[in-house]
Amino acid sequence: MPFLEIRNLEKKFGNVDVLKGIDLAIEEGGFLVLVGPSGCGKSTLLNTIAGLETITKGEIHINGRKVNDLHPSERDIAMVFQSYALYPNMTVAQNIAFGMEIKGVPKPERDKAVNDVSETLQIKHLLDRKPSQLSGGQRQRVAMGRALVRRPLVFLFDEPLSNLDAKLRVDMRTEIKRLHQSMKTTIVYVTHDQIEAMTLASRIAVLKDGILQQFGTPAEIYNHPANMFVADFMGSPAMNLIPVSVERSGQSVRLSMPQRSGDPLTLALPDSAGKIAGHAGGNVIFGIRPEALTDPDGADRGSAGVVLSECQIEVVEPAGSDTFAVTHLGGKQVVARLRADARVAAGSRMKLAFNLDKAVFFDPGTQLRIA
């Protein structure tokens, strides 16, 4: 039985539908990441779980208990806010202990709990400071301390790292992951950063305009996106989505896509990609991630679906660990991810290796994945 379950959840603000029937479930100890573009309803969904927003329709269950009508303090959750929301007039220690103080926990017990938590988070030396005397990273830790000390059934995080600088964000991300591994408490985590989503999640829910686009493990989301939106949203650089026509010649099926000059580029599909055969004579969207489109030496030798084809390289972008090469296929910019030391020059033609085992196909009309 799932630990946190959301059934057919709807939320309206006035006449505006913000959440349109969300179904989610996560097992105990799971790490659920809600991801999506700005304004898609992630925070609203999290707030309904916390009880900070009422729901229009549907049910929320935590640990087998329906919490729809419970006050936030009775739901056994703790929340870390994007702005940290530390009480400005209290010291760090008072901030962490506030919930216990309200509950009437005796002082010695409170002090011990604060002490334990501040040890875990290495903020002991900050206990007597006010929030205004802390750096962003320290505030972040204190906010987590305030959540940890409650020992909740579910942690809720609303973009907790988005106010930190890039380096600190990566450190804190690792730290959150480590904390989760040691505590094994269920977490729901909102972010619009798909890398955070991929690295942290045991399950990812991708939202757009209040509709759940896909719900699955990071690998499922990444390798088998349910539609073009998910394919485009997850991964950086984004998946190449190339309009192609499907042609049959004898036994084999090929993809054909116009180039900027010369003949159209054609790729013969190996048997493994034959699911697309039913669309022969029509058009589909051919999705291939940059890392499945490489220089021939960098291609995956274990894969049978690698097809070589010569392309015109228009731009080369060295990025240290990799070199990105931009070509033009089917009227779209297409990014290939080459090894850092691959020999490539802008304006030249070079052979690229398409790993068609990793390719996905979408219906251009419905935008849904067909293979």
Partner 1 sequence: MSAPSPEIAVKTRSLTRILIYAALIVFAVYYLLPLYVMLVNSLKPLDEIRQGDMLSLPQQFTLDPWFSAWSTAQIGVQPTGLKPYFLNSILMVVPAVAASTLLGALNGYVLTKWRFPGDNLVFTLMLLSCFIPFQIVLIPMAKVLGLLNLAGTTWGLALVHAVYGIGFTTLFFRNYYEAFPTELVRAAMIDGASFFQIFRRILLPSSGPIIVVTVIWQFTNIWNDFLFGVSFADVNSLPMTVALNNLVSSSTGVKEYNVHFAGAILAALPTLIVYVVSGRYFVRGLMAGAVKG
Ligand X SMILES: Nc1ncnc2c1ncn2[C@@H]1O[C@H](COP(=O)(O)OP(=O)(O)OP(=O)(O)O)[C@@H](O)[C@H]1O
- Return residues touching Mg ion (CB under 5 A): 43
Distance CA 365, CA 362 (A): 9
Which of 11, 139, 141, 146 forms a contact with partner 1 (CB under 8 A)?
A: 146
**Cα separation, 190 vs 213, whole angstroms:** 15
Residue tagged 């729809």 (tokens): 68
Q: Of ligand X, Mg ion, partner 1, none, which one does residue 81 interact with (CB within 5 to 8 Å by kind)?
A: partner 1
Q: Quote the DSSP letter at residue 1.
A: -
27: nearest Cα among 157, 187, 173: 187
Specify the residue, 50 or 269, whose C-beta has the smaller distance to partner 1.
50
Residue, CB closest to Mg ion: 43
Which one, 190 or 307, has the nearer CB to partner 1? Answer: 190
Contacts of 178 (CB under 8 A, 6+ apart): none
- Of residues 45 and 231, the one with the C-beta less far from Mg ion: 45
Instruction: Write the single-letter amino acid at 352.
Output: L
**Binding to partner 1 in span 60-79, by CB under 8 A:** 71-73, 77-79
CB nearer to partner 1: give 89 or 252: 89
Q: Choosing among partner 1, Mg ion, ligand X, none, which partner's interface includes residue 195 (Cβ < 5 to 8 Å by kind)?
A: none
**Taking the complex as a whole, how short is the minimal distance between the CB of residue 158 and Mg ion, in angstroms?**
6
CA 358 to chain centre: 20
CB of 173: closest distance to ligand X in angstroms?
17
d(CA 75, CA 89): 26
Q: Is 88 in the site for partner 1 (CB under 8 A)?
A: yes
Smallest distance, Å, CB 324 to Mg ion? 31
Interface residue with partner 1, options 99, 264, 305, 364 (CB under 8 A): 99
DSSP-H helix ranges across the chain: 42-50, 92-103, 107-121, 136-148, 166-183, 194-200, 218-223, 228-233
DSSP assignment letter at 270: P
Considering only the stretches 87-95, 112-120, 164-172, 267-275, report the one whose residues sit in contact with partner 1 under the rule CB under 8 A: 87-95
Per-residue DSSP letter, 104: T
Secondary structure percentages of the chain, helix, strand, coil, to 5? 30, 35, 35
Binding site for ligand X (CB under 6 A): 13, 16, 18, 36, 38-44, 192
State the residues that interact with partner 1 by CB under 8 A. 47, 50, 52, 71-73, 77-79, 81-83, 85, 87-89, 98-99, 102-103, 146
